[in-house]
Structure 1
Amino acid sequence: MGRVVVLGSLNVDLVTEVDRHPRPGETVLAVGPLVRLAGGKGGNQAVAAAEAGAGVAMVACVGDDADGRRYLARLRARGIDTAGVRVVAGESTGQAWVAVDGEGENAIVVVPGANAHVTAGDLGPLDGLRPGDVLLVQLEVPLRVVAEAARRAQSRGARVVVNAAPYAALPHDVAALADPVVVNEHEALALADSGSVPRSLLVTFGGEGCSWDGVEFPGAPVEAPHVVDTTGAGDAFCGALAAALAEGHGRAEAVRRATEAGAAAVRRQGAQADPSL
Structure 2
Amino acid sequence: MNINWYPGHMKVAFDNFKKNLKLIDIVVELIDARIPFSSKNPKIDEILENKPSVLLFNKIDLADEYTTKKWKEYYESIGKKVLLVNANQNKGLNNLRQILEDELSEKFKRDEQKLIKDKTIKMMMVGIPNVGKSTLINTLSKRTGAKVGNLPGVTRNIQWIKTPGKIELLDTPGVLWPKFENKEIGLNLAFVGSIDDDILDVENLSYELIKKLNKIDPNILKNRYNIEFDLDTDIAYIMDMIGERRGAILKKGIIDYDKVSRMILREFRLGKLGRISLEKVSDFFG
**Could you state the TM-score of these two structures normalised by the residue count of structure 1?**
0.27
* Larger strand share, 1 or 2: 1
Q: Which structure's CA Rg is the greater one? A: 2
* Larger helix share, 1 or 2: 2
**Could you state the TM-score of these two structures normalised by the residue count of structure 2?**
0.27
